[in-house]
Structure 1
Amino acid sequence: MKLNYKKVGQGKPLIILHGLFGSADNWLSIAKELEEDYTMYLVDQRNHGDSPHSEEWSYKSMVDDLAAFMTSQGLEAAYIMGHSMGGKTAMNFALKYPNKVQKLIIADIAPRYYPPHHENILAGLNAIDMDHLASRKEADETLAEHIPEMGIRQFLMKSLGRDENRKFVWKINLPVITEKIDNVGAEIESDKSYAGPTLFMRGANSDYIQEKDKEDLEKYFPEYKLITIKNAGHWLHAEQPDAVVETIKAFLG
């Protein structure tokens, strides 16, 4: 699968993978703060952004996509960073292709299984009648019946686009994501470990990486460091961008 991507900056290669319901654009502001030192590849994972849609949606397929992407860009190895779902892709990739990962950065996700917890979001997205949708305002009003948080709605609305006939469409593959949402929480299962330098960043107000997860971090990523970003939740790069940028710089520097 040929993934859509944005290329920013100059220097050592750094590939950035977004989370569920997201796109490459989610990390653009962070990338602009790093562009003097790194050539960044902001990738739309399959069924997201402007990358192709597919009935196949699993970490195995997303790992294969990333391997093919690196080959297409002539990258033998790179720094790899992923947030949430993108972090799970990055972890699986490092365990399968350790020689392709110079350093690994994981933002607010652990190797363990996460049960589905996006019911309200999926209900809101599926409640929108796309065949008769007249405006973005109308879409937001429908979402608000299920999702009161304006910030979450604004994030989701970034995936609302138009086709060649100016009809509203979701850039995300909503039917497949709805059907296979359990796949995004799949735990890491491997008999291997990644021995390279690994940074886990967690939001202080997030419960995605807990003390109980340290056993798995040590098992799969023995050279890991865990940094907590103050006053940040799961979307730490949006809530505390300066702290995230400085943490990335210090780790990669």
Structure 2
Amino acid sequence: MHYVSSGQGEAVLLIHGLFGNLDNLKNLGSVLEQQHQVIRVDLPNHGLSEHWDNMDYAQLADAMVDVLDDLYLKQVHVIGHSMGGKIAMAMALLHPERVISLVIADIAPVAYSPRHQTVFAGLTSLILNSKTTRKSALTHLMAAGIDEPTSQFLLKNLQRTDSGFEWKMNLTGLIESYDRIIGWNLPLTNDKHFDKPALFIRGGESNYVTAEYRDEIMRQFPRASAKTLNGTGHWLHAQKPEIFNRIVSEFIEQNQG
């Protein structure tokens, strides 16, 4: 798996979300690396990491542990956004001895209904050939009903080749894995929980973490606390980075291993 490590001190692992890459949390990483070793990963099927035919959260949690082993790290603080937050939670539940504390950005440990159909339809209908340009690709995605900021974000996955463009991400593998991505099915007993500090940060205008999920969060993460960033949606770390970074930094400092 492709990753970058920078800084020194108690280690922090940053995990991006669906369609992202290790640069998504780079701003946070640059703040944390002043006091910590910071590891940012490209998840399988994303960025420069290997392509998997399918993936689930238990496999992805194991892959994160492999990164720690590669770096000879016994424990880390784990921070994840969206799908990356689910991977972080899976890691905490399946490998609690490797996790010091947990920060989860705008996701809950529950199964969600499908919500990316428009995105997948736009991506799969985009023909990539020698005539494709970034501008034409943007026009196509927006015509498919994807807003411009999301379209621009998705197009960061395009890479130029001798014959035009291709996806860095494994789109087929993500489609194949989508039911497991939106689901929450870990090989655990119902009483399994993570009994260490956890912080859930939600976007005030996002519908990913609502009051109905509180009981499930507290059942699985009984030491969880929560904060809301008003005026932000699902991309809270990008919309109010200074506040988000401060909240995360303070939590990590309060929960040194």
Query: Which residue is 2:193 aligned to?
Result: 193
CA distance in structure 2 between the aligned counterparts of 1:148 and 1:85, rounded to whole angstroms: 19
**1:133 Cα deviation (Å)?**
4.3
Task: Please give the per-residue CA displacement for 1:60-91, whole angstroms capped at 9, x wherever unaligned.
Answer: 22112111111111111100111110011111
Task: Please give the per-residue CA displacement for 1:158-217, whole angstroms capped at 9, x wherever unaligned.
Answer: 111124x36311111111212331111112543211101001000000111111111111
Query: Which residue is 2:79 aligned to?
Result: 81
TM-score by length of 2: 0.93
CA distance in structure 2 between the aligned counterparts of 1:65 and 1:105, rounded to whole angstroms: 19
Structure 1 residue runs of 5 or longer lacking an equivalent are none
Alignment match of 1:149 (pick from 122, 143, 147)? 147
Task: Please give the per-residue CA displacement for 1:87-107, whole angstroms capped at 9, x wherever unaligned.
Answer: 111111100111100011111
CA distance in structure 2 between the aligned counterparts of 1:78 and 1:113, rounded to whole angstroms: 26
Query: Which residue is 1:177 aligned to?
Result: 174
Query: Which residue is 1:54 aligned to?
Result: 52
Task: Please give the per-residue CA displacement for 1:117-156, whole angstroms capped at 9, x wherever unaligned.
Answer: 1011111111111134431111111111113421111111
User: Which 4+ residue blocks in structure 1 deviate beyond 2 angstroms?
Assistant: 131-134, 188-191
Query: Percent of aligned positions with the same letter in both sequences?
Result: 34
CA distance in structure 2 between the aligned counterparts of 1:133 and 1:231, rounded to whole angstroms: 40
1:238 counterpart letter in structure 2: A
**1:10 Cα deviation (Å)?**
2.5
2:27 aligned with 1:37, yes or no?
A: no
Query: Is the deviation greater in 176-185 or in 64-73?
Result: 176-185
Note if contact 1:111-1:188 (Cα within 8 Å) is conserved in structure 2.
Answer: no
SS at match of 1:21: coil
Note if contact 2:7-2:38 (Cα within 8 Å) is conserved in structure 1.
Answer: yes
Query: Which residue is 2:12 aligned to?
Result: 14
Name the count of aligned residue pairs: 250
1:208 counterpart letter in structure 2: Y
SS at match of 1:55: coil
CA distance in structure 2 between the aligned counterparts of 1:147 and 1:10, rounded to whole angstroms: 44
Structure 2 residue runs of 5 or longer lacking an equivalent are none
Query: Which residue is 2:234 aligned to?
Result: 234
CA distance in structure 1 between the aligned counterparts of 2:185 and 2:239, rounded to whole angstroms: 27
CA distance in structure 2 between the aligned counterparts of 1:9 and 1:166, rounded to whole angstroms: 39
**1:250 Cα deviation (Å)?**
1.4
2:20 counterpart letter in structure 1: G
CA distance in structure 2 between the aligned counterparts of 1:187 and 1:148, rounded to whole angstroms: 26
SS at match of 1:38: coil
CA distance in structure 2 between the aligned counterparts of 1:35 and 1:71, rounded to whole angstroms: 20
SS at match of 1:102: strand
CA distance in structure 1 between the aligned counterparts of 2:54 and 2:175, rounded to whole angstroms: 13
Note if contact 1:147-1:153 (Cα within 8 Å) is conserved in structure 2.
Answer: no
TM-score by length of 1: 0.95
- The RMSD of aligned alpha carbons is 1.3
Note if contact 1:130-1:169 (Cα within 8 Å) is conserved in structure 2.
Answer: yes
Query: Which residue is 1:25 aligned to?
Result: 23
Query: Which residue is 1:159 aligned to?
Result: 157
